[in-house]
Amino acid sequence: MEILAFGVQSDERPLLEEAFRAARPEDRHDIRCLDVFLNEDTAPIAAGHEAVSTSVNCELGGRVLQTLATGGTTLVAQRSTGFNNIDLPVAERLGMTVARVSSYSPHSVAEFAWTLAMAVNRRIVRASNRTRDFDFRLDGLMGRDLHGRTVGVLGTGRIGEAFTRIAHGFGMNLLGWDAAENPACLDLGMKYVPKERLLAESDLVSLHVPLLPQTEHLLDAAALRTMKDDAILVNSSRGGLVDTRALVAELRAGRFTGVGLDVYEAEAGLFFLDKSLEVVDDDTLARLVTFPNVVVTSHQAYYTVDAVGEIIAATVRNVLDYLAGRRSENVLAPAPART
């Protein structure tokens, strides 16, 4: 069988191809890697392929899934933990199996979130741009010690826990918010509080929750106004957790020491692509990147050789499980039977 993989990055391609080559002889299958993302325009390419593999910025709405099903696709193996880009009820109605990567190295994202936090706190981008022009002044580069200050972690699962461990190493006061308390975070001294209190008291707020209907715009205009004027905000989870228009309004008002964003709620069709020679008509993003205290990166927090290797290994297992008729915790559709 040949698996058709959409949205494969150049660094990812050799790892993906080698993973399928390294399988046992009876488990070896060909994989064809495409750099284009799956959407309504590219879906017909998959005709004749029983299995496709997708990335988080592929579009798998009802029309795309119908095109895939008509072409004979019965497996979608998503190379990510998030799956808000897939219309699961439609996939199930069409008899398709959908699997994701339920977990991978939490350290990749947690460490990158801290990279963003430190970059905006210590004005690293501004300093680097200056020194390229041999401008070695310190004006405007003053940051703050994080030791002794308060960090608020929204979402304390595996990634939030890893982020919290780093915060503990900095000697910060730890506040958490989640539906369930993480014993490991409690052991580090984290205090769980309501979201409003966390936002009001934190010098640094970091988001580590999934994007669900109940978490969309978790940080809306009202929530953002609750935060300290000199707070730092980091989002390395999902763009839709933050109301970006409201965030721009707060930044225009001169609020926040810094904002580090690895995700953006309208990133589909932009992130992972070279748009440098085009006019980008997203006025909100265009305004966002002009603020000197904002750093925007292109959804790269997960992008380490360790994490990508784990994602690819899980994707291979998902394909093999599907062919063998096995079901794992990675399967999203068909939905598990209710008990």
**Residue pLDDT, tens place only, 98-144:** 999 998 989 999 999 999 999 999 999 999 999 999 999 999 999 99
Set 49, 79, 255, 299: catalytic member: 299
Q: Please, are residues 280 and 266 in contact by the beta-carbon 8 Å criterion?
A: no
Give the number of other Cβ atoms within 10 Å of residue 228's Cβ.
17
189-238 pLDDT tens trace = 999 999 999 999 999 999 999 999 999 999 999 999 999 999 999 999 99
pLDDT band for position 337 (cuts 50, 70, 90):
low
When pLDDT is cut at 50, 70 and 90, the band that residue 339 belongs to is: very low
Catalytic one of 50, 161, 250, 267 = 267
0.85 exceeded by pTM: yes
Cβ neighbours of 166 (radius 10 Å): 16
pLDDT of residue 336: 64
Distance CA 282, CA 212 (A): 24
The reply to whether 267 belongs to the active site is yes
Q: Is 137 a catalytic residue?
A: no
- Of 79, 158, 208, 238, the catalytic one is 238
Q: Is 158:106 a contact under the CB 8 Å cutoff?
A: yes
- Specify whether 238 is catalytic: yes
Question: Cβ distance 154 to 177 under 8 Å?
Answer: yes
